[in-house]
Amino acid sequence: MTTLLKVNNLKTHFFTHTGVVKAVDGVSFHIDESEIVAVVGESGCGKSVSQLSIMQLVSTPPGKIVDGTVEFEGRDILRLDPKGKEMRGIRGGKISMIFQEPMTSLNPLLTIHRQLTEAMEVHLDLDRSQIHDRAIELLDMVGISDTDKRIHDYPHQFSGGMRQRIMIAMALSCNPRIIIADEPTTALDVTTQAQLLELMSDLVSKFKASLIIVTHNLGIVARYARRIYVMYAGRVIESGTAKEIFGSPKHPYTRGLLNCVPRLDTKDETRLVPIAGSIPNLVNMKPNCAFYSRCQHRVEECKREYWPVLRHITGLHHVSCHAC
């Protein structure tokens, strides 16, 4: 497969009055053409900030991309001016993002028509009539009925699931090569979640785009993602194919995440086991393993040594751990 996007040693820090928050601390990953990849982890692990960094959408100050490269179409797009014409052409045109919480991501003062056509006016060489027809086509494609009338409605006139469908339509509007879906099913019921995920999977296949799913829900990635990156405290601590991660998880944190997920292939009385403690304060963190205080398999080396680098297990499977 041809690699479409390659992120190498990405570091995004937030400089606050209490110290430096290393939200993304040396993250590396890639995505191939027509591939679905998942980035998973608890809230606060840096998965969303890593994707915002790719798009150069981190608020400055206090955030700043301090190191790393993001290679897309043969060049490092982090070297482009965030407000320049080239980077604006990539955002929305070639790499689009479905943001968290469609209830707040859509502008309540603008109609769906205006919000859906804005990016197309910038990125596509079409006249107004063609853009309008394209908007109607996209809404039909994502399952919104009576589009001739509803396209002129405002966000508050749609349900949460319908707003998320509109966000998907906006992301697809300019035929991007990569779509980043940041927690695409947050606050939706399980039925709507399943419908939207199937829709996204079908549309990605139809448009031959690549999809990055950012989520804490391992149930989502088990069905849809080909490869998985597990993040903790700003770093990738395990990566591999979905089969490798779910079939033979190595890192104690990954195993802990899987133990928190209900399974259909276990007995009814099987209890879910939560991960003790919480994500550490990322301000001025020590260089040793950040999972040390929560880990049941820790060894003395975990406390004494630097955070281990990812080492190869087998196939595409890599893990960052002294104890496994």
Which tokens go with 131? 């853009």
Which band of pLDDT confidence, cut at 50, 70 and 90, is reported for residue 144?
Answer: confident
pLDDT tens across 11-44, in order? 999 998 888 999 999 999 999 998 999 999 988 8
pLDDT tens across 42-87, in order? 888 899 999 999 999 998 889 999 999 999 988 999 999 988 889 9
CB atoms within 10 A of CB 270: 11
This prediction's pTM: 0.91
Closest listed residue to residue 136, CA positions, set 125, 118, 151, 121: 151
Three-state DSSP string of 98-119: ECCCHHHHCCCCCCHHHHHHHH
Average pLDDT on 274-289 reads 79
Per-domain boundaries in the chain: 3-94+178-319, 103-175
| Model pLDDT, residue 265 | 66
Residue type, 56: Q
Q: Is the confidence at residue 269, as pLDDT, over 90?
A: no
Edge-to-edge order in the sheet of strand 210-215: 95-98, 178-182, 210-215, 36-40, 227-232, 235-241, 317-319, 311-314
CATH number listed for the domain at residues 3-94+178-319: 3.40.50.300
8 A C-beta contact, residue 71 and residue 45: no
Distance CA 228, CA 222 (A): 9
Q: Is the confidence at residue 205, as pLDDT, over 90?
A: no
Which band of pLDDT confidence, cut at 50, 70 and 90, is reported for residue 264?
Answer: low
